[in-house]
Structure 1
Amino acid sequence: MRSRAKDLIYHHFIDKFLGKTGQYVGVEIEMPVVNLDKKPVEPDFAQAMFELLVDRFDFRPAKFTLEGFPIAVVKDNGDSCSFETSLNTLEFSMGRKRSIQEIAASFYNYLGALKKLEKKHNYRICGMGTNPYAQYANSTPLNTPSMMAKSEFLKRFTTHHDGEIFHSFSASTQTHLDISLPALPDRLNLLGKLAFVDGLLFANSLPFPHEQTSAWQAKLPLNLRQELENPTVCFRDTLWRLCESPNTEAYDQEYRSLEEVVNRLMDLKLFVVSDGKDRFKPIQPVEFSKYFADHNNLEEDIVCFRSLEPIAVSKYGTIEIRQTCTQPLAEIFIPTAFYTGISENQRKARALVDDFWRENKLEMTNSELRRKAVCQETIVQQATMNHFLTNLVAIAWEGLKKRNFGEENCLGRLIKGNNLMESPAKRQIRLLKDGLDYRDLILAYSEVEEKRERREPDGLSP
Structure 2
Amino acid sequence: MNKARKCIEERYFKNLKEKPEVFVGVELEFPIVNMIGGAIDIETVLSLMDMLVSEKNFSVEKVDEQGNPIQIIADRYDDRILFEVGYTIIEFAFDKAKNINEVNERFQEYFEIIQSYLKDFHHMLTGLGINPWWNTNNSKCVSDPYYKVLEKYIEMAKNHPHMHPYERWTTFVQSNQVQIDVGKDNLVDVLNVFNKIEVVKAWLFANSYFWKKDMNTGIARDFLWENSTHKLVKDQVGLFKKDFSCIEDVIDNFMHTAIFNIERNGKIYYIEPLTVEDYFGRNEVYAYDCDGNKIIVNPDYRDILRHRTFQYESLTKRGTVEFRSVCTQPISDTFAPTAFHLGIFENLQAVKDLLEDNFFFKIYGEDIVTLRRKFSRLDLSWIEKNEIRAFSKMILDLAQEGLKSRGLAEEQYLESLYRRIDTSTNPAEYGVKLFKRGYTLTEIADEFAFL
TM (norm. structure 2) is 0.88
Aligned residue type for 1:315 = K
What do the CA deviations read for 1:346-367 (whole angstroms, capped 9, x no partner)? 1111122222257624424111
SS in structure 2 at match of 1:34 = strand
The sequence identity of aligned pairs, in percent, is 26
Q: Which residue of 2 is the match for residue 216 of structure 1? A: none
Once the two structures are overlaid, the 10-residue window that deviates more, 347-356 or 146-155, is: 146-155
Distance in 2 of aligned mates of 1:89 and 1:341: 28
Question: CA offset at residue 165 of structure 1?
Answer: 2.9
Once the two structures are overlaid, the 10-residue window that deviates more, 350-359 or 365-374, is: 350-359
Once the two structures are overlaid, the 10-residue window that deviates more, 351-360 or 119-128, is: 351-360
Question: CA offset at residue 345 of structure 1?
Answer: 0.3
Matches within 5 A, 1:130-209: 130-156=130-156, 158-159=158-159, 164-209=167-212
Once the two structures are overlaid, the 10-residue window that deviates more, 71-80 or 36-45, is: 36-45
Question: CA offset at residue 418 of structure 1?
Answer: 5.5
Question: CA offset at residue 291 of structure 1?
Answer: 2.6
Q: Which residue of 1 is the match for residue 97 of structure 2? A: 97
Distance in 2 of aligned mates of 1:271 and 1:115: 36
SS in structure 2 at match of 1:136 = coil
Q: Which residue of 2 is the match for residue 10 of structure 1? A: 9
Q: Are residues 380 and 60 of structure 1, via their aligned partners in 2, closer, same or farther at CA, if it must alter by over 3 Å?
A: same
Does structure 1 retain, via aligned residues, the 8 Å contact 2:331–2:450?
yes
Question: CA offset at residue 372 of structure 1?
Answer: 0.2
Question: CA offset at residue 53 of structure 1?
Answer: 2.5
Aligned residue type for 2:238 = E
SS in structure 1 at match of 2:229 = coil
Once the two structures are overlaid, the 10-residue window that deviates more, 355-364 or 14-23, is: 355-364
Does structure 2 retain, via aligned residues, the 8 Å contact 1:203–1:325?
yes
Distance in 2 of aligned mates of 1:29 and 1:425: 18
Q: Which residue of 2 is the match for residue 308 of structure 1? A: 310
Structure 2: runs of 5 or more not aligned: 284-297
Q: Which residue of 1 is the match for residue 265 of structure 2? A: 277
Does structure 2 retain, via aligned residues, the 8 Å contact 1:34–1:126?
yes
Once the two structures are overlaid, the 10-residue window that deviates more, 341-350 or 54-63, is: 54-63
Matches within 5 A, 1:282-293: 282-293=270-281
Asked if 1:69 corresponds to 2:68, the answer is yes
SS in structure 1 at match of 2:432 = helix
Q: Which residue of 2 is the match for residue 409 of structure 1? A: 412
Matches within 5 A, 1:28-427: 28-75=27-74, 77-156=77-156, 158-159=158-159, 164-209=167-212, 228-246=213-231, 247-274=236-263, 276-293=264-281, 296-356=298-358, 360-376=362-378, 377=380, 381-415=384-418, 419=422, 421-427=424-430
Distance in 2 of aligned mates of 1:157 and 1:434: 36
Q: Are residues 321 and 72 of structure 1, via their aligned partners in 2, closer, same or farther at CA, if it must alter by over 3 Å?
A: same
Aligned residue type for 1:45 = T
Distance in 2 of aligned mates of 1:167 and 1:97: 28
Aligned residue type for 1:187 = V
Aligned residue type for 2:335 = F
Aligned residue type for 1:447 = F
Q: CA RMSD in A?
A: 2.4
Distance in 2 of aligned mates of 1:137 and 1:111: 22
Aligned residue type for 2:259 = L
Does structure 2 retain, via aligned residues, the 8 Å contact 1:38–1:136?
no
Does structure 1 retain, via aligned residues, the 8 Å contact 2:393–2:421?
no
SS in structure 1 at match of 2:393 = helix
SS in structure 1 at match of 2:152 = helix
Aligned length: 428
What do the CA deviations read for 1:51-94 (whole angstroms, capped 9, x no partner)? 23324442211112222222111235221111121111111111
SS in structure 2 at match of 1:149 = helix
SS in structure 1 at match of 2:81 = strand
